[in-house]
Amino acid sequence: RSCSRALSADQRPKPGHSMVSCNCFGISENPDPEELLFAGGRRESDRENAPSLTAALPVHSNGADNAVLLGRPDFRPQENEVKGPDDEPAGLGTAVAEEHQLVQKFRSYQLLEAAKELKDMKGSKEGEEEARRLLGRAEIEEIRRAESNYEASLTMIDRKPSDLKVHHHDNSLHLQWGAQLHDTGFLLVMHVDWPCDSLEMLLQYAALYVSKDTTVGWDPEVVDVEALGDPHPTEAVWRTRKVDGMGVKLDDVTNMQWMLLDSEPMGGAWVMESSLTESCMKGITIPPPDAGHGRSTDILKYTTLQILQGDNSAFVLRVKLAMNVNPGSVSTRLMQLLPSWGLRRAIGSQVEGGVRNTPSHVAKKKAALEKSVKHGPAASFYKSFELYARQKLRQ
């Protein structure tokens, strides 16, 4: 989640409350003075230069031409699919022999690989027509949008914590984080490894970053989360009501998009979250904020998830997260006056506290996380994530 704020002057926080946390980072019971720098709203004048980060939502066609895709949400193996050990599919989306590579990659959520297939087909009129016949215009748009957003994310997500001015490495928490001030706040980059006893546990950790409704109780600010519009396996619009550490009430609406990455050694995923500011998107009416609530307009966060093989047949979920934190003009100016050790203390207390509390939250909410993974709107995505890893294990 993001600490981005875009509030009017009368919604700015009052002093005397604990600090807002960043992306599940815990709130201190007795915050240091430096911590208070990250709480608060953004003045009306700060909105002028805020970029528009809205991503459109897909409208999927249901015609006969792309009826082959109707099975994707349930991720059902085809009848002629080759089986591997334990009756698992031998490959993702390999289905019947005549299925086109473009369809295979789309069905298995490998949208970057699907984009490569589209580029190969774009060279001829026949190829473009075949692509539209196989998928449909809306599905092709989904692939192209995912590719564009992924390329735009690389500038942030490829940054290393140690490259930033303020950074810290905690071996006991399997954590590295770094921060770099800019004109309206700071860039936060965090790398953390979550050791997991099984792929099932690993997927429960992954759900915290993909399914926004699982963050209730993990993110101490979040009061409730609801989906807007129809569920979709790779995109969602979420309405999140929360109260930050300074008592400021927020009613944020964000668009999230995710896909699988063909990354070594055992696969991975990419997730984006950004603010939605339009009043209506692809048939979804965006409600105004509740009375007394502000709405952030500059949330931007990228996350990559990578599966690694750990010791003793265990697994590791490696998370790399990059987000812009924009706490408001006054707080930003105060931050710029702090020495490096002060920034390290203020940011680090939130980041490290959140990491320490996550394993206990996953254990406590195991049933709810398992339900999200197996039966939620993104269940077929998680299944693809798991099958991809199991396929790599057999190679």
Q: Is the pLDDT of residue 51 over 70?
A: no
Burial annotation 220-243 (CB, 10 A radius, 16+ → b, else e): bbbeebebbeeebbbbbbbbbbbb
- For position 224, what pLDDT does the model report? 94
Q: Give me the half-sphere count of Cα atoms (radius 13 Å) on the Cβ side of residue 204.
A: 23
Residue-wise pLDDT for 293-345, tens only, equals 988 888 899 999 999 988 877 899 999 999 987 766 666 777 778 888 888 88
Residues 200/362, Cβ–Cβ less than 8 Å: no
| Mean pLDDT across 82-109 | 62
Instruction: Please give the average per-residue pLDDT across 203-227, as a whole number.
Output: 93
The CA–CA distances, whole Å, from 129 to 66, 70, 102, 123, 124 equal 13, 20, 13, 11, 9
| Dihedral (Cα; 41, 44, 50, 54), 10-degree rounding | 80
Cα–Cα dist 350/362, whole Å:
18
Amino acid at 40: G
How many whole angstroms separate alpha carbon 157 and alpha carbon 273?
Answer: 13
| Most confident among 3-7, 204-208, 218-222, 275-279 (mean pLDDT) | 204-208
Provide the pLDDT for residue 189.
96
Tens-digit pLDDT profile for residues 184-200: 788 999 999 999 999 99
Record the pTM. Answer: 0.75
The reported pLDDT for the residue numbered 75 is 32
Confirm if 54 and 276 have CB atoms less than 8 A apart. Answer: yes
pLDDT-wise least confident of 3-12, 145-154, 386-395: 3-12
Residue 73's pLDDT band (cuts 50, 70, 90): low
Q: 96-110 pLDDT, tens per residue?
A: 446 889 999 999 999
pLDDT (0 to 100) of residue 294: 87
SS3 195: strand
Reported confidence tier of residue 230, pLDDT bands at 50, 70, 90: confident
Mean pLDDT of the chain: 77
Between 368 and 28, name the one with better pLDDT.
368
Query: What confidence score (pLDDT) does residue 42 get?
Result: 32
Q: What percent of the chain has pLDDT over 90?
A: 44
